[in-house]
Amino acid sequence: MARHLITSAIPYINGIKHLGNLVGSQLPADLFARYQRGRGHEVLFLCATDEHGTPAELAAAKAGKPVAEYCAEMHETQAEIARGFRLSFDHFGRSSSPQNHRLTQAFAARLDEAGLIEERVETQIYSKADGRYLPDRYIEGTCPNCGFESARGDQCDNCTKQLDPVDLIEPRSVISGSTDLEPRETKHLYLRQSKMRGELSDWIDSKTDWPVLTTSIARKWLNDGDGLQDRGITRDLDWGIPVRKGEAEWPGMEGKVFYVWFDAPIEYIACAQEWVDAGKGEDWERWWRTDKGADDVRYTQFMGKDNVPFHTLSFPATILGSGEPWKLVDYIKSFNYLNYDGGQFSTSRGRGVFMDQALEVLPADYWRWWLLSHAPESSDAEFTWENFQQSVNKDLADVLGNFVSRVTKFCRSKFGEEVPAGGAHGDRELALIADLERRVRAYEGHMDAIEVRKAAAELRAIWVAGNEYLQDAAPWASFKTDPEAAAMQIRLALNLIRLYAVLSAPFIPDASAQLMEAMKIDDDAWPGNVTEALSVLPVGHGFAVPDVTFRKITDEERADWHARFAGIRS
RNA sequence: GGGCCCGUAGCUCAACGGUCAGAGCAGACCGCUCAUAACGGUUUGGUUGGGGGUUCAAAUCCCUCCGGGCCUACCA
C-alpha cells in the first residue's frame, strides 16, 4: 500500500471562489485523492484557507467586523461550499491557526540560524488617513508616461509601463482616496533565496517528468535577469503571524507580521498538526518528517499557474533552508486558467459562476464532471453554457444515466427486482470483458499520471461500452427466444452498473453512491480484474430502480443561466 | 521592454520526428425499441494560423510574420 500526501493550493479567505479557482486546484486534488483511496492506498488530503494579508483586513473593515471574526466566518462559508462540492479533505485548516503560528515562527528561527534571513531597511508609502503602509497596487495616480489617470503603483494598466509608486503624479490611496501619503523607512526580513539558487536549480532540473508549465515558470524565476531574488517575508500589518524567532522576540521587528506567502505554504504542514489536534489522525510527522516515517510518502501538490513560483522556489527554499528533514514535494500538477464565455472570470465584476451559485443551480456532480473533463491542462480552457449543457446532457444523462435506467427497468419488467439466474457468458461477453480490462488499465494509467482529461475520456468510453454491449446483445430480443440468455445478459449489465459506480466515484461521488445504493451493495473494491468485478452481484441479489440519475439541462435553463451570470453578482 | 505558453475538422480536444493527422460533440444517413426521443452503426468534414528553412520524413525542429493568453517578484 502506497502513501499519498496530497495538498491543494489554499484558497484565499477573501470571498467565494469561482469555478476557475476550483478546477485549478481543489477539484483535481480531490479527484486524485479519491482515486488513490479507491485503489486502497493510504491518503492524507489537506487544504486550508489562506487568511492573512491586506485584502482580508480591508474586506473585514468593509464588512464592519473584526478581521479574526470575518475570517472565521468566511472559513466556515468556504468549508460549507467545499462540502457541497464533495471535496474530501481529511482536514480543512486555517493558516491563522495556532499550529501555523508556532511552525512559521520556528521556520523563521531555523532560517535565521542558517544565515538565510537578512534585515533590510526600505522605503514604503505610508497613508496617514488609512493608518497603514500601502502595497504598490493599493496606490493609484496619473501615469507619468501616458497620462492615464488610474495607473496603479506597480504598473500602468493603460500603457503597461512598470512604475514605482513615487513616480505617480498625484498619488492617492485606493482604499480611502486620501492623498496624504508619505514615504517612510521600515525594516523587513528577507529570505535569501539567492543563496540557494544552485540547490533549487538542481532540484528543478531533476524533475524531468513535471509539466512544462511548472518547470518553465520555475526556470524563468531562477534565471531571469540577475537570477533568483531574495524575497521579503514580513509586512507592516496587524493581521498575521507576529514576527518572532521561534518562541523569542525578534528585536526590531515588533508589531510586524510574516508575509502571507511565507506562512501560507507552511500551513500545509501545520494543517496536518491541526488534523491530529482535531482528533482525526494520530501522527502527522509520519507524513511530513522523512526521519519519522515520511520517507516512503509520495507528495503531490495541485495549483493554478499563478501559484507555481511559490511552490517551486519559495517554499522549497524554506524547507531546504531549514536544514531539517521535512518532506519535499514529489510532483507539482499545475493548471492553466478557465475562461468564462469569451473572457475571464472576474471576482470584482461578478462575471462567471461562483462556487455557491453553481451549487444553487445544479448538483455538484454536474460541475465536477464538466470541469474535470475540460480541465485546463495544456492551455487555458473555456466555459460556455452551450458546451456545458451539451457535454453534461450527453455524457451523464444519455450515456451513463440512461444506461442505468434501461438496464434496471428492463430487468424489473421481465425478471423482477433481483439479479436473474440462468445462462453463461459467451464470446460476446468475453470480448466485452477483455475490452473493459484494457480500458480500466488505461484509465488507471491516466489517473496515476494525473492526466485528468484523458482519464475522463477513458471513463466515458467505459460507459459507452455498456451501451454498445446492450445494443449488440439485445436482451429484449433474446428474451423472447432464449430467456436464460437474456437473464445472463442483464445480470452482466447490472454488475456493470456497480462497476461503473466504483470507477466513476472519483469524478461523480454522489451519483456513484446513488448507484451503489440502488444496487443495494457496499462493496466498492477497485476492480483487480474485470471478470471478478462483474460477478459481485450474485443471482437473486435485490436491487432498486434508481430515480433519474442525471436529469437533462433544458434550453430554457441554459438561456436563463447565461443571462444571470453575465456580470454583476447580486 | 523581457520571458513562457498556445493557435489542429463548425465546437472541445488527441497526436510530443515516422503507417492515409485521430476522438467526442454537432451535421447527414441507416438500424433498434429495453431506456431519460434515449442507444448502436455508417458517414460528411482539416493545404495542422501565413510564409520560409532543416530532414529520407515536419502538426511536431529552426527562422519570420499574424493572432490569443499568462507571468514579470509589494494582490494573493
Q: Is residue A318 part of a domain?
A: no
Helix axes A402-414, A509-518, angle to 10 degrees: 10
pLDDT reported for residue A283 = 97
Q: Is the CB of A397 under 7 A from strand B?
A: yes
A337 CB inside 7 Å of strand B:
yes
Residue A425 lies in a domain: yes
Q: What CATH number does the domain containing A511 carry?
A: 1.10.730.10
Strand B proximal to A225 Cβ, under 7 A: yes
* Residue A156 belongs to a domain: no
Mean pLDDT of A324-353: 85
A231-A97-A300-A396 Cα dihedral, nearest 10 degrees: -120
Mean pLDDT computed over every residue of chain A: 92
Q: Give the C-alpha separation, A282 to A291, whole Å.
A: 17
- Give me the A residues in range 528-547 that sit within 7 A (CB) of strand B: none
Report if residue A276 sits inside a domain.
Answer: no
Q: A407 lies in which domain range? A: 385-533
Q: Residue A71 — pLDDT band, cuts 50, 70, 90? A: very high
Task: Flag residues 252-311 of A with CB < 7 Å from strand B.
Answer: 259-261, 264, 305-307, 309
The answer to whether A457 CB sits below 7 Å from nucleic acid chain B is: yes
Question: Which nucleotide comes closest to A12 if you measure CA to C1'?
Answer: B76
The answer to whether some atom of strand B lies closer than 7 Å to the beta carbon of A194 is: no
Q: Is the CB of A224 under 7 A from strand B?
A: yes
Q: Which nucleotide is nearest to A398 (CA to C1')?
A: B38
Contacts of residue A113, defined as CB under 8 A and 6 or more positions apart, other chains included, come to none
pLDDT at A159 over 70: no
Q: What are the C-alpha distances in Å from A222 to residues A303, A342, A452?
A: 19, 34, 29
Q: Measured from the CB, is A89 under 7 Å from any atom of strand B?
A: no
- Is pLDDT above 60 for A30? yes
Helices A452-473 and A483-504, interaxial angle, to 10°?
170
**Residue closest to B16, CA→C1'?**
A212
Question: How many domains are contained in chain A?
Answer: 1
- ipTM for the whole complex: 0.93
Contact A553, A388 (CB under 8 A): yes
pLDDT tens digits, A169-212: 888 888 888 889 888 999 999 999 999 998 998 888 888 778 77
Residue A355 falls inside a structural domain: no
Q: What is the pLDDT of residue A459?
A: 96
Lowest-pLDDT range, A11-15, A112-116, A375-379, A398-402? A375-379
CA–C1' A394–B11 (A):
14
Q: Read off the pLDDT band of A569 (50, 70, 90).
A: very low
- SS3 labels along A300-320: EEEEEHHHHHHHHHHHHHHHH
Share of chain A above pLDDT 90, in %: 70
Q: Is the CB of A213 under 7 A from strand B?
A: yes
Residue A324 CA and nucleotide B67 C1' are separated, in Å, by: 49
Q: How far is the CA of A10 from the C1' of B25 (A)?
A: 35
Q: How would you write A419-437 as a 3-class SS string? A: CCCCCCCCHHHHHHHHHHH
A402: CB within 7 A of chain B nucleic strand: yes
- pLDDT reported for residue A270: 97
- Average confidence (pLDDT) over A445-450: 92
Residue A11 has pLDDT above 50, yes or no: yes
pLDDT beyond 80 at A266: yes
C-alpha cell at A196: 540557494
Contact A241, A266 (CB under 8 A): no
Strand B at less than 7 A from CB of A73: no
What is the tens place of the pLDDT at every residue in A486-511?
Answer: 999 999 999 999 999 999 999 999 99
pLDDT at A213 over 80: no
Nucleotide nearest to A224 (CA to C1'): B3
User: Is residue A529 included in any domain, yes or no?
Assistant: yes
A551 touches strand B (CB under 7 A): yes
Q: Quickly state the pLDDT bin for A27 (edges 50, 70, 90).
A: very high
Mark the nucleotides of strand B covered by protein, meaning any atom under 7 Å from a CB: 1-7, 11-15, 23-26, 31-36, 38-41, 68-76
Grid coordinates given for A213:
508549465
Q: Greater confidence, A215 or A374?
A: A374
* Region A302-319 average pLDDT: 90
Residues 472-531 of A with CB under 7 A from strand B: 472, 474, 476-477
- What cell numbers appear for A491 in the block? 445480470
Mention every residue, 6+ apart, whose C-beta is less than 8 A from residue A379: A336
pLDDT higher than threshold 50 for residue A570: no
- Those residues whose C-beta lies under 8 Å from the C-beta of residue A559, and which sit 6 or more positions away, are none
Note whether residue A522 is domain-resident.
Answer: yes
Q: Sign of torsion, CA A285 A287 A288 A291?
A: positive
Cα(A445)–Cα(A160) distance, integer angstroms? 44
Confidence of residue A134 (pLDDT cuts 50, 70, 90): confident
Q: Could you tell me if residue A486 is inside a domain?
A: yes
Instruction: Please report the pLDDT score of residue A484 as a whole number.
Output: 96
Q: In this predicted structure, which of A42-46, A57-61, A537-541 has the lowest mean pLDDT? A: A57-61
